[in-house]
Amino acid sequence: MEILHYSDAHKAFRRQLQSFIESHILPQADLWEANHIVPKEEWQRMGRSGFLCTAVAEAYGGRGGDFLYSAICTEEMAKTHQSGFMTLLHSDIVVPYIDTYGSDEQKQKYLPGCVNGDIITAVAMSEPDAGSDLASMTTTAVPDEDQVVVNGSKIFISNGINCDLVIIAAKDPAIENPHKALSLFLVEDGTPGFKKGNRLEKMGMHSQDTAELFFTNCRIPAANRLGGKGEGFIILMQKLQQERLVCSVWAQARTEHVLQWTIDYCHNTKKSGARLYDLQSVQFALAEMATDVRMSRCFVDKLVSDHIEKKNVMVETSMAKYRTSDMVNQVTGQCMDIVGREAINEDCPLAREWRDVRVMPIFAGTNEIMKGIIAKSLPQY
């Protein structure tokens, strides 16, 4: 069932990316996992090859591509057997804040580097005592003439070690309304008062550099505010549709990759003299998973199409984020059951996949929050 229509240019781009992945990512994935970080030069290599920030306009160094280019990048990177090279976060979640709300001066200064890989970005919202509830945020940004003084800390920041530029959410304590007090600011690595903590040791996604960030009397120019004063909450809400859609595309593609690997394994592996695939219980389990995955693909592709047409599908992307992130966990776990004890060995791709996907129902808004958004829409369902 074809919902999305890829042009010859899209198809050529996918083939080029697949070739790049084959040559430059797959051979190094295990090394990145062992070292718990992706070298910065690999970001530059990918950027200079044209695979970062594909939506950025040509005037700022990008290709000015539609969201299908982003979907292609997300899908192909989902098949690389690693989660550390978080290009989707950089290209399709963080940089769009600058691309949409940045001044021309900010765009000229930062976007070309984001496109070519010289600038790696991160977004800092979560705090030790404030996760999805932005109103509980305590990091402050106090105006001081032509500067802003930032104090506070952020935690679980993806790309936290590698980042050259951080979009930080902070509140003006003089404003009582927590939603109107929130603004976004651009903070460059090396700014006095900005310190990166140690890389966090996580259950999965080992090559993804997650860190705590500290801001102590960190002075930045007031011109580094992204968007208008007090518009931070609105800006974050307006970008959530794409963020959750990107996560859905990623989870969908990873599920398909895991299932296909397991199907191939069952075709090529014998137990007690017979192929695993010849067991009816295995056939039924694979058939059930394949049906769920195929139905989910139709829903996700329709949302990609709607998003390209600029439709408001916030509720539907919340559905997709919740369902696909749960699905990738369910399918990966069931595939491990089918493969058996070999699945727990580190040389089996499923072991790493299982660790890596566990966090997907938690980030980009927990699935409980997604269900709350969906529930509020049901009276009009």
Backbone angles phi, psi at 215, to 5 degrees: -130, 115
The catalytic residue among 75, 243, 316, 353 is: 243
* Residue 203 DSSP symbol: S
Question: With contact defined as beta carbons under 8 Å apart, do 187 and 247 qualify?
Answer: no
CA distances from 346 to 38, 135, 349 (A): 20, 42, 7
- Give the rounded distance of the alpha carbon of 20 from its chain centre: 20
* Structure tokens belonging to residue 292: 């769920």
Q: Is the Cβ–Cβ distance between 140 and 171 less than 8 Å?
A: yes
Annotated catalytic, 368?
no
The answer to whether 71 touches 54, Cβ cutoff 8 Å, is: no
Both tokens assigned to 15: 């083939």
Nearest to 264 by CA among 273, 256, 272: 256
For strands 121-124 and 165-171, give the pairing.
parallel
CA 349 vs. chain centroid, Å, equals 21
Tell me the chain's radius of gyration from C-alpha atoms.
21
C-alpha to C-alpha distance for 66 and 295, rounded to whole angstroms: 24
Q: Where on the phi/psi map is residue 339: left (φ > 0), alpha (ψ -120 to 50), or beta? A: alpha
CA 248 – CA 257 distance, rounded (Å): 14
Distance of CA 228 to the CA centre of its chain: 25
Q: Which residue has the tokens 């160094």?
A: 61
247: its two tokens: 């996560």
Question: Which token pair is 145?
Answer: 């003439």
Cα(32)–Cα(210) distance, integer angstroms: 14
- Backbone torsions φ then ψ of 140, nearest 5 degrees: -110, 155
What phi and psi, each to the nearest 5 degrees, are found at residue 217? 45, 45
Residues labelled catalytic: 243
